Amino acid sequence: MAPEGGTLLLITLSLSLASNQQTLEEVPVQSDFEAQKVEGRWLTTRLAASHTRLISPEDPLRLALHSIGTRDQDLEFVLFWMGEGVCKGVNITVHPTGLQGQYQGTLERGGTILIRFVGTDYSNLILYVRFQDSGGEVTSLWALLARRVPADPKWLGKYLEYVRKFQLQEAPVFNLDAQCPPSDA
Per residue in 92-136, pLDDT tens? 999 999 999 999 999 888 899 999 999 999 999 999 999 898 888
pTM: 0.80
What pLDDT shows up at residue 79? 86
**Residue 159, pLDDT above cutoff 60:** yes
DSSP states of 70-129 as a string?
EETTEEEEEEEEEETTEEEEEEEEEEE-SSTTEEEEE-TTS-EEEEEEEEE-SSEEEEEE
Taking the alpha carbons of 26, 31, 34, 35 in that order, is the dihedral positive or negative? positive
Quote the CA–CA distance of 104 and 98 in Å, as a whole number: 10
